[in-house]
Structure 1
Amino acid sequence: MLTRKIFLTAALAAGIAAFSAPAFAQSNVAEGKKLAFDRGKGNCLVCHVIKGGEYPGTLGPELVDIKSKYPKREELVAIIYDETKRNPLTVMPPFGRNRILNAKEIDAIVDFLQTL
């Protein structure tokens, strides 16, 4: 009887997590898009063309098919945090190192970029 209760409790917890994860993911993607398009925060549009963005720049590459270009999430996080470590000649600001974006904001932007 105790084993069944443990199993049912675990199944219920997994079910709740399954229902709440997509909602969290969607809200994180929406927050990431907002930050990426925000001219005072991520400001990605100053250099990049992003679908749905107004008045994009063309200095950086167009941000499309990101998940296949950067299958490892950590690589994309590192690029946004401080691209100068990978490419010392980059003009991309080190958003994390310069505290323009915090870790939570960078994660949200990465979640958004992975949908492109």
Structure 2
Amino acid sequence: MGTTACFGAARAQSAAAEGEKIAFDRGKGNCLTCHGIKGGDLPGTIGPALKDIKSKYPDRNDLVAIVSDETKRNPQTVMPPFGRNRILTEQEINAVVDFLQTL
């Protein structure tokens, strides 16, 4: 594996680790309030368990759109529009998506 490939893999791993912190942070992403996530404490059951995400959402952009504003796809959702309501920045949403793709 070349240096560039190693650097890219390390950066993706770092972004996924940051995304995990955000997802598990009760004051930020707060994903555990509604979703079961491997490694998370006291998960909620309102939303589906977050597993096999990459196979369910092979197009990363679909997942970014869901986290940013699921109301565009599903107006009846109870999931907060993390991007539209500025709960998370674009960079934070991308980090969360990087993490979700590891599940």
TM-score, structure 1 normalization: 0.86
**Residues 7-26 of structure 1 mapped to structure 2, 5 A cutoff:** 15-26=2-13
Name the CA distance, whole Å, in 2 between partners of 1:49 and 1:90.
17
**Residues 76-87 of structure 1 mapped to structure 2, 5 A cutoff:** 76-87=63-74
| Alignment-derived partner of residue 115 in structure 1 | 102
Name the CA distance, whole Å, in 2 between partners of 1:71 and 1:23.
21
| Alignment-derived partner of residue 32 in structure 1 | 19
1:68 is the counterpart of 2:55: yes
> Any gaps of 5 or more consecutive residues in structure 2?
none
* Greater fraction helix: 1
Identity %: 72
Per-residue CA distance 1:11-58 (angstroms, 9 max, x = gap) = xxxx33122111111110100000000001100000000000000000
> What is the aligned length?
103
Aligned AA (2:42): Y
TM-score, structure 2 normalization: 0.96
Q: Give the deviation of 1:72 after TM superposition.
A: 0.5
RCO (CA 8 Å, sep 6+): is it higher in 1 or 2?
A: 2
82-91 or 15-24, which deviates more: 15-24
Aligned AA (2:67): I
Question: How well do the aligned residues superpose, as a CA RMSD in angstroms?
Answer: 1.1
Name the CA distance, whole Å, in 1 between partners of 2:6 and 2:52.
27
Moved over 3 A (4+): none
